[in-house]
Amino acid sequence: MPRVSTAEISRTQPVLVLAVTVLILYFARDLLIPLTFALTLSFLLAPAVSRLESRRVPRVLAVALTCIVAFIGIFSVGYVVSRQLLNVANDLPAYRLNIQRKLATVHSPAEQSLEKAFNAVEGISGDITTTAPPTATQAPTQVQPVRIIDPDRTQLQTTAELLMRFLRPIGTVGVVIVFSIYLLMKREELRHRILLLAGMGRINLMTQALQEAATRISQYLVFQLAVNAAYGILFGGGLYLIGVPDATLWGALAGILRIVPYVGTATSLALPLIVSVAISTTWWPPILILGLFLALELTATNFVEPWLYSTRTGISSLALLAMAIFWALLWGWPGLILSTPLTVCIVVMGRHVPQLSFLHTLLGTDAELSAEALFYERLLAMDQQEARAVANRFLDGKPLVELYDSVLIPALALVEQDRHQGNLDDKRSDFFFLTIGEIVAELTDYHQKQPADTSPATPKRISRQIENDFAVVCISVSDQADELTTLMLGQLMERASHPTLLLSAASVAGEILDSLAAEPTTVVFISALPPFAFSQARAICQRVRSHLPNNRIIVGLWNSPNDPDQTPEQLIERFGSGKPNIIVTSLAQALQQLTNWHRQQSSQFMRF
């Protein structure tokens, strides 16, 4: 029997936890739905309670006042809206003839011909039935609906079922009210229980998660309330101008129904549209209502809500739609209403719990590829134009060294890693090197807008003398990736006004090194791109040091991660007898080190 490794268990553990959680959410929905409604309502009312407490109102009184005002407002609006809806429903049968007349006007000739054909077929079939020869035993019969009556069912059971249909929603509302009051009264106790469950080692993590979830949900609910109220006012005002009766009712209903994503907005349009069709003599009022709805809905969903919600909830638009469907399938219409607050909690968990980080990647708004990963991905797809666009967007207003250190060199490191592991063919690797080489060549004349330099200026005569004496020799270790990093380094050195010579490892002969020994101010750069170039860099460094004992040598291990268990001095010791003066991991560090040596030499020159 094959054994399951620990790595495989760790990879499947988040999936198992997620599956178990979904099962619990489904089978415990009767308890969890009221609790979630109460938790959401408490997030909405908590700011008001906190504001009253800040004014030295006791918590009991603050919670009581807030809940009384909130529940009275909710029940009052619900009562008024339901009564007016019943009145509208009672009035609709009076407009039945008007509705039929309008529907008849939209029938096309093809539909009329088809309707005539169906009527003819029905007439023929009726004639066949009525002309059939009657028999002595035949008699006209009338079809009666079949009703199955349970003989064991009593009137008491029927009454109990009817009562349960009314008492169950009332009981759910009561549970929501009780839970909401408890959550507002015992906020600290609930938080302490969650922290105790998380453990002492995760107090910081859970505190940040709870605070972020509460802040995001509260902000979302407040802004949703404001947006829905504004939407209802605009929609009701537009209906009033169009001439639809009960415009205030339809505006209030539109604001309320927007709490239910997607389904509520469609319902808020259908009801006033039906009334308009019923009472109006032309088609212009329904058309104007549809135009008003589209204008408000497109503005709200494409401009207002993304601006207000996405940054505060941290959920992408596609994730909102997918999770609305998921929660609707899991919990029905309560899940559809609660989909956004629940998804906010899931995204926060994915951000703070490493084992659930894939949830934040799938649902969050800031789960985007970094510039170097996007650049590498576009080159993998052999899309040179988009890869250049990524580099240009990143470079906009930034220094050239930042593009090289943050985008091009990390992409080259990925190329080297995939190429040495056999995951990248020669065609794509050549395309990588060619594209990056062209980009570097095109950026030779790049000029960034520099702010005014307020530092004390060095005399031009002294600066030019030092720059001419402060030459740089850049040696690439092995392959094309090292040559490209050396090309970037040489380009930056030339831009810094340092005479630069680029050499490959094969062209570094003993005669060249002996000639450089006569120039002790010349700095030697050895350019290597890990993770497969350290041994070659050490060999070249030992060879250069044996010929140039007095020159300063810098080894550039580009894009090399910092090892906390290894200090820079220990890394230099690994070079053995040919130790460099310093090791850098980025082009910015190389330029800074060269600038420091330049200033030291400048101060010595000025003394003499």
**Coil vs helix vs strand at 11:** helix
> Are 203 and 298 in the same domain?
yes
Chain centre distance of CA 474:
43
> Are 507 and 439 in the same domain?
no
- Quick: pLDDT tens for 245-296: 888 889 988 988 888 888 888 888 888 888 888 888 788 888 999 999 999 9
> Are 470 and 557 in the same domain?
yes
> Are 390 and 507 in the same domain?
no
Confidence of residue 224 (pLDDT cuts 50, 70, 90): confident
The number of beta carbons lying within 10 Å of the beta carbon of residue 490 is 22
**Coil vs helix vs strand at 564:** coil
**Coil vs helix vs strand at 583:** strand
Return the CATH number at 395. Answer: 1.10.1240
The whole-number average pLDDT for the span 195-220 is: 80
- Quick: pLDDT tens for 225-239: 889 999 999 999 999
- Quick: pLDDT tens for 296-348: 988 988 888 777 776 667 777 778 888 888 998 999 888 888 888 888 888 88
pLDDT at 1 over 50: no
Residue type for 222, please?
Answer: V
> Are 441 and 469 in the same domain?
no
The number of beta carbons lying within 10 Å of the beta carbon of residue 167 is 12
Asked whether 580 and 553 are in contact (CB, 8 A), the reply is: yes
> Are 376 and 506 in the same domain?
no
Q: Quick one: what percent of the chain has pLDDT higher than 90?
A: 11
Residue 141 counted as domain residue: no
Residue range(s) defining the domain that contains residue 260? 34-78+168-314
| Angle, helix 426-442 to helix 371-380, in steps of 10 degrees | 130
Tell which wins on pLDDT, 30 or 108.
30
Closest C-alpha to 537, from 550, 547, 527: 527
Q: For residue 154, what are the CA distances in angstroms to 146, 147, 150, 165, 167?
A: 20, 16, 9, 17, 20
pLDDT at 10 over 80: no
Asked whether 278 and 97 are in contact (CB, 8 A), the reply is: no
CA distance linking residue 27 with residue 350, whole number of Å: 23
> Are 249 and 392 in the same domain?
no
The upper half-sphere exposure of residue 51, i.e. CA atoms within 13 Å in the direction of its Cβ, equals 7
Tokens of 138: 């035949």
Residue that the structure tokens 């009332």 belong to: 170
- Quick: pLDDT tens for 568-586: 677 788 887 778 888 888 8
Peptide bond before residue 531 is cis, with ω within 30 degrees of 0: yes
Residue 245 counted as domain residue: yes
Residue 414 counted as domain residue: yes
> Are 389 and 533 in the same domain?
no
Q: What is the dihedral of CA 272, 274, 279, 285, to 10 degrees?
A: 60
Q: What local confidence, expressed as pLDDT, does residue 69 receive?
A: 92
Asked whether 457 and 467 are in contact (CB, 8 A), the reply is: no
Residue 197 counted as domain residue: yes
> Are 563 and 437 in the same domain?
no
Tabulate helix, strand, coil % of the chain (nearest 5).
75, 5, 20
- Quick: pLDDT tens for 130-168: 444 544 444 445 555 555 555 555 667 777 777 777 778
Q: What local confidence, expressed as pLDDT, does residue 276 receive?
A: 84
pLDDT at 483 over 50: yes
> Are 205 and 303 in the same domain?
yes
Beta strands in 451-499 (DSSP E): 472-476
- Quick: pLDDT tens for 435-459: 999 999 998 888 765 544 443 344 3
Q: What local confidence, expressed as pLDDT, does residue 173 receive?
A: 86
pLDDT at 213 over 90: no
Residue 509 counted as domain residue: yes
Q: What local confidence, expressed as pLDDT, does residue 3 receive?
A: 54
* Phi, psi for residue 17 in degrees, rounded to 5: -60, -40
Tokens of 538: 């050490």
Residue 264 counted as domain residue: yes
CA distance linking residue 195 with residue 184, whole number of Å: 18
Residue 146 counted as domain residue: no
> Are 376 and 304 in the same domain?
no
CA distance linking residue 385 with residue 379, whole number of Å: 9
Q: How many domains are there within the chain?
A: 3
Last residue of a domain, one of 445, 478, 505: 445
Tokens of 488: 């970037």
Hey, which residues does 502 pair with through a beta bridge?
474
Say if residue 81 is exposed, middle or buried (CB neighbours under 10 Å; 0-12, 13-18, 19+): middle
> Are 479 and 601 in the same domain?
yes
Residue 424 counted as domain residue: yes
The upper half-sphere exposure of residue 186, i.e. CA atoms within 13 Å in the direction of its Cβ, equals 12
Last residue of a domain, one of 383, 416, 445: 445
Say if residue 60 is exposed, middle or buried (CB neighbours under 10 Å; 0-12, 13-18, 19+): exposed
Q: What local confidence, expressed as pLDDT, does residue 294 receive?
A: 92
Mean per-residue pLDDT over the chain, rounded: 79
Residues in CB range of 377: below 8 A, 6 or more apart? 369
- Quick: pLDDT tens for 498-542: 888 888 888 877 788 878 877 888 888 898 887 667 788 888 888
Asked whether 308 and 130 are in contact (CB, 8 A), the reply is: no
Last residue of a domain, one of 287, 314, 341: 314
CA distance linking residue 543 with residue 168, whole number of Å: 86
Q: What local confidence, expressed as pLDDT, does residue 407 receive?
A: 92
pLDDT at 562 over 70: no
Q: What local confidence, expressed as pLDDT, does residue 602 receive?
A: 64
Closest C-alpha to 184, from 69, 60, 75: 60
Q: What local confidence, expressed as pLDDT, does residue 403 receive?
A: 92
Return the CATH number at 573. Answer: 3.40.50.280
Residues in CB range of 178: below 8 A, 6 or more apart? 38
Tokens of 218: 């509260």
